[in-house]
Amino acid sequence: AQSVTQPDIHITVSEGASLELRCNYSYGATPYLFWYVQSPGQGLQLLLKYFSGDTLVQGIKGFEAEFKRSQSSFNLRKPSVHWSDAAEYFCAVAGRAAGNKLTFGGGTRVLVKP
């Protein structure tokens, strides 16, 4: 069975500081990996995705993530956070066919201090 673990429930970071969110996954084959962001009461917006190839992927809003197969990890980073980055972040794993499950981690809430 596929699963995703996000070890940090909350992270507080100062505006302008760097941010790293951890994600570990379990999947029997090569997965598709995603990071989504959700503002309160809103839907999910895709930040970035990994399918194959270059293990460092760039996304929107200045985010990047690195896929490390040996560690089953897909950590999200941003060099300098903005107050608008305060939100809930979800890592997700899915199989490669369109009708496969898309499974989310528990989420990490990011708070940004002025």
Residue 1 interacting with another protein (CB under 8 A):
no
Those residues whose C-beta lies under 8 Å from the C-beta of residue 90, and which sit 6 or more positions away, are 6, 35, 36, 37, 38, 44, 104, 105, 107
Residue 111 interacting with another protein (CB under 8 A):
no
Window contacting another protein (CB under 8 A); options: 11-19, 65-73, 77-85, 96-104: 96-104
Window contacting another protein (CB under 8 A); options: 11-19, 36-44, 65-73, 79-87: 36-44
CA dist 39 and 45 (Å) reads 9
Nearer to another protein, 4 or 19 (CB): 4
DSSP state string for 5-30: E---SEEEEETTS-EEE--EEE-SSP
Nearer to another protein, 93 or 112 (CB): 93
- What is the three-class DSSP state of 70? helix
Least Å distance, CB 16 to another protein, is 27
